[in-house]
Amino acid sequence: MDFLITYGSHTGQSESIAAQLKEKCMLLGMNPRVHVLEENEKTFFIENEPLAVIIVSSTGDGDPPENAARFLRRISRRTLADDFLKNVTYALLGLGDSNYSTYQGVPRKFDEQLTKLGAKKLIPTGEADDEIGLELVVEPWIEQLLKKLCELDHIPISRLEGLTISTPLVKKEKEKKSVAEKPKLPTVMSTEDDRADSSTDRILKLAPYTYPGEISLIRGNEALSSDEALRVPIAPLTYLVTSVTHEKFEPKSVNWQNGESMPGLQGKPMDATVVGTTLLTDFDVHKPKRELVIDLNAHWDQLSYSPGDAFYFLQPNPEAEVNFILERMGLLMMADQKCHVTVAGDAKKPNAAVPGYIPPISSLRYIFTHCLDIRRAPGRPVLRVFADATSDEGEKRRLLELCSSQGMAEFTAHIRQAAVSIVDVLAAFPGVRPAPERLIEQLPRLIPRPYSVSNCYERARGRIRFVYSEMKFGVADGRRYERLGLATEWLNALRVGDQIQVMMKEPARFRFPVPPATVEAGLKMPLLMIGPGTGVSTFISFLDLLLHEKIKIGSLPAVPRKLFFGCRNFEKDFIYKDLLESYVREGILDELIACESQPAKPVPGRHCYVQEALRQRADEVWDFIQLEESRIFICGDAKAMSKDTWECFAKIVAEKKGCSDAEAKAFLLELKKANRYIEDVWA
């Protein structure tokens, strides 16, 4: 059966699901075509597709991915007849992150428009949430879709069983015992670096971790571990081969990740020099905050950025973790030799190709350090590969449980929510010895991490400032070594004089002045900025630009400019206090409203969270919203702060307009559309 699978992808997730789906369909004997949504009216015409599977996500801003925007505009045209899509049957999968208030906004818009134009649904729409794990919805949705497709194509449903295997329950007691005993064994993660220039600082200690007696990464619940018919996906098709030569590899001989482009990043990697690192808070606060200043050297003349823009840091994986994986594969000794990655001559995977971000010739150390994400909790296909890579029957059984349909809840709890890394899993299953090509095929691409610029271009003179917060993850829940976030761990280790690489992030709508306004127009915009914690760093770039303009032209138009900041304790983590107060003295800000959530002693009248301060000034906030050209900017945490602030504004609007909560939110959505309520929130 010939049909269309089409996707709109910002980070590559929809694209990869589309490719996986195509692979499964082909194994069943179907022949789908896969095209990106922007190929509509070029390679395909949606109105002429009797059957279309659509996979689409929303960006954090609630916009469609760039490669889906034209399609959405096309099906939203008012001039289209009500039966424009009467011949189309579709199945829709939406991807999103419920941390964002715009969760599933784009897929729902797709659904609404497709139905409105007469298209019929093949199966109910799937809404997958990255916050709890996309696979929780994606996999059952694909299963349901494949069943329906088999029915339509008269393929016996029994063929679907070829995509899963049932594992018999052999040597159950022995198996359980074998896994339960093993993880207590290793206490040192990587004993000795085998390379000639080895040094003891590469040794990574692995905290002894005793799994609790109850259900854990290595021990399933009774029902799961006694299930005699686990439904386990067949192992992903292998299609790559690696071969290591005797020649030494020179890392400078390749472009970062083979020069492969990445959505959201623009230009090429730029060399930069670290010229400053400062701890901005007390060191013993819950999340210490640090400043990093880099010099962009000669690249400075070729680029410009606006306040609100961000740069990506091309952070490598930690050396000790890379060594651990290489050692486990038995390849540490040859990790620095040239390694060729090619497609296997007998590859059965349709359209098999070496991923574009893997250089055809590099070294295993290069690939595992710079190209593959080894920190992200492994997906079920990786566990499936691990299950085939151990000779220990007990380990195999447990790994299969974790990737079985029945083990979905345990996978979510002990892999996904526990945020275990590849190293944690390998340490928990010491018999697993994966082949490098299996990991290259299955591990996701290592994505650089973005940080907002915290000073303005005109005043930076090539020296750009960033601020970041440390996130610590302790030894617990199956994590076997303490760690900071991947980028922060690397940023913390940087010293003045170090050379690093950065890339520019594609500008988003969170910019000052708000596009297409000129700087001159921006000066006249009333601003209400809300940025607790490091969220304030972006606003410092706004204020730095205003200061620059004030110095240039003598004075600024008198419009309200207020900043709401929040921290736990004024004495310990009020970052940039002096600088922010100087903006008030300079008349750049007319008010700085600081909130303290965990003061040593409560101070009467002092607000705890920014929302409290906003609520107390409800009249002022409402007057502000009505000012011509006024802009509300919110920057910071997406999980709680941005949602609570949204609710807070909704309450203020409902009260002042005398309307319902839903009407108040519709009003705020209009402000959002008009770029007057603009968020830069990070999950």
Q: Which chain residues interact with ligand NAP by CB under 6 A?
A: 287, 451-452, 467-469, 532-535, 537-538, 566-568, 597-598, 609-611, 635-637, 640-641, 644, 680, 682
**For 54, phi and psi rounded to 5 degrees?**
-120, 130
Instruction: Find tokens 């003891």 and name the residue.
Output: 200
- CA angle centred on 377, ends 375 and 378, rounded to 5°: 105
Minimum gap (Å) between residue 567 Cβ and ligand NAP: 5
Burial state string for 21-57 with b = 16 or more CB within 10 A and e = fewer than 16: bbbbbebbebebebbbbbbbeeebebbebebbbbbbb
Minimum gap (Å) between residue 485 Cβ and ligand NAP: 10
Phi-psi group of 605: left, alpha or beta (phi > 0 → left; psi -120 to 50 → alpha; rest → beta): left
Minimum gap (Å) between residue 284 Cβ and ligand NAP: 14
DSSP designation for 39: G
Side-chain-side CA neighbours of 424 within 13 Å: the count stands at: 28
Q: Which amino acid is at 324?
A: F
Burial state string for 185-224 with b = 16 or more CB within 10 A and e = fewer than 16: ebeebbeebeeeeeeeebbbebeebebeeebbbbbbeeeb
Instruction: Find tokens 């299996």 and name the residue.
Output: 438
DSSP designation for 482: -
Minimum gap (Å) between residue 101 Cβ and ligand NAP: 13
Between 32 and 264, whose beta carbon lies closer to ligand NAP? 264
d(CA 40, CA 178): 54
Is 515 in a helix, a strand, or coil?
coil
Between 238 and 454, whose beta carbon lies closer to ligand NAP? 454
Minimum gap (Å) between residue 565 Cβ and ligand NAP: 9
Between 357 and 510, whose beta carbon lies closer to ligand NAP? 510
The continuous run of DSSP H or E covering 89 comes out as: strand 89-96
| Cα–Cα nearest to 450, from 631, 635, 634 | 635
DSSP designation for 413: I
Between 296 and 610, whose beta carbon lies closer to ligand NAP? 610
Minimum gap (Å) between residue 597 Cβ and ligand NAP: 3
DSSP designation for 218: S
| CA distances from residue 480 to 204, 236, 613 in whole angstroms, order as listed | 11, 28, 42
**6 pairs with which residues across the strands?**
35, 54
Between 404 and 534, whose beta carbon lies closer to ligand NAP? 534
**For 580, phi and psi rounded to 5 degrees?**
-65, -40
Tell whether omega for the bond before 513 is within 30 degrees of 0, i.e. cis: yes
Q: Cβ-closest residue to ligand NAP?
A: 533
**For 93, phi and psi rounded to 5 degrees?**
-120, 120
Between 436 and 535, whose beta carbon lies closer to ligand NAP? 535
Minimum gap (Å) between residue 537 Cβ and ligand NAP: 5
Minimum gap (Å) between residue 280 Cβ and ligand NAP: 10
Alpha carbon 471 to its chain's center: 16
Minimum gap (Å) between residue 468 Cβ and ligand NAP: 5
Minimum gap (Å) between residue 310 Cβ and ligand NAP: 7
Minimum gap (Å) between residue 55 Cβ and ligand NAP: 27
Identify whether the C-beta of residue 510 lies closer than 8 Å to the C-beta of residue 680.
yes
Between 55 and 502, whose beta carbon lies closer to ligand NAP? 502
Long-range contacts of 164-169 (CB under 8 A, 24+ apart): 164/231, 164/232, 164/233, 164/234, 164/405, 165/232, 165/234, 166/229, 166/230, 166/231, 166/232, 167/229, 167/230, 167/232, 167/397, 167/400, 167/404, 168/228, 169/226, 169/227, 169/228
Minimum gap (Å) between residue 509 Cβ and ligand NAP: 14
| CA distances from residue 186 to 202, 217, 374 in whole angstroms, order as listed | 17, 16, 20
Minimum gap (Å) between residue 487 Cβ and ligand NAP: 10
Between 249 and 564, whose beta carbon lies closer to ligand NAP? 564
Between 138 and 491, whose beta carbon lies closer to ligand NAP? 491
Minimum gap (Å) between residue 612 Cβ and ligand NAP: 9
The count of other CB atoms within 10 Å of the CB of residue 563 is: 25
Identify whether the C-beta of residue 263 lies closer than 8 Å to the C-beta of residue 12.
yes
